[in-house]
Amino acid sequence: MVKTTAWDRQREAVREEITQTAIDLFLRQGFDATTIDQILEQVGVSRRSFFRYFGTKEDVVLGDLVSRGVAIAEALARRPAQEEPWDAIRAAFHEAQEISALDKQSTLALGRMLFDTPSLLARHVEKRLRWQELLVPLIAARLPSGGDRDLQAHAIVASALSCLDAASRAWLRSSGEAELGDLYDQAVAAVRR
């Protein structure tokens, strides 16, 4: 077990305060209309401190996206080896709570902001590419020998992530009324026809 120090807890508290303040401003004013200086003024930290926690303004919203990819990869690695790749990915998404919205209102607001803000969407796609790097070897190991397993695994993972994005957009259009997991299943069924 890794012990957290008082310094670690303090750093996490500051990071969380910056994140919450920034997101509140983004949702009130819009992402592009909110400046880093406005966030700094509200939180009372220096520009240098901000960039110690976040590489870009987009990372305030998407900062945990890479760690969510790691959680999916860990869930996928725990799936039974004989499980079909698409089923294993779905189960890993479910376990990592990628296909279930926990807090409907904030998830709706953040999702709309993400898909409506080009710079956020671009950074989201960039971070999602890291998910592919994590997931492709795990899917390739599940495929039968013969053929180009790496190519097949890339195609499956890229398709699954596209299905996740399509389901997320449909969920937003439904104002959170549709079941995200059902929408994901519908998107996968369309791809696998």
Let me know if 170 is exposed, middle or buried by CB neighbors in 10 A (0-12, 13-18, 19+).
Answer: middle
Residue ranges, comma separated, of all CATH 1.10.357.10 domains in the chain are 64-191
pLDDT tens for the chain, 193 residues: list them. Answer: 567 788 878 888 888 899 899 999 999 999 999 999 999 999 999 999 899 889 889 988 887 777 889 999 999 999 999 999 999 999 999 998 887 755 677 788 888 999 999 999 999 998 899 999 999 999 999 999 888 999 999 999 999 999 999 999 999 999 999 999 999 999 999 999 8
Cβ–Cβ under 8 Å, residues 15 and 53: yes
Q: What is the DSSP letter of 100?
A: S
Calpha distance 38→50 (Å, rounded): 12
Cβ–Cβ under 8 Å, residues 65 and 128: yes
Residue ranges, comma separated, of all CATH 1.10.10.60 domains in the chain are 6-55
Cβ–Cβ under 8 Å, residues 165 and 153: no
| CA 83 to chain CA centroid, nearest Å | 24
Q: What is the pLDDT at residue 1?
A: 59
Calpha distance 64→128 (Å, rounded): 11
Helices 104-116 + 149-173 axis angle, to 10? 110
Q: What is the pLDDT at residue 2?
A: 62
Calpha distance 101→181 (Å, rounded): 9
CATH: 3.20.20.80, 1.10.357.10, 3.40.50.300, 1.25.10.10. Which one for 64-191?
1.10.357.10
For domain 6-55, is the CATH number 1.10.10.60? yes
Calpha distance 129→158 (Å, rounded): 9
Q: What is the pLDDT at residue 32?
A: 93
Cβ–Cβ under 8 Å, residues 33 and 47: no
What the block records as the tokens of 174 is 């439904």
The pTM of the full predicted model, rounded to 2 decimals, is 0.84
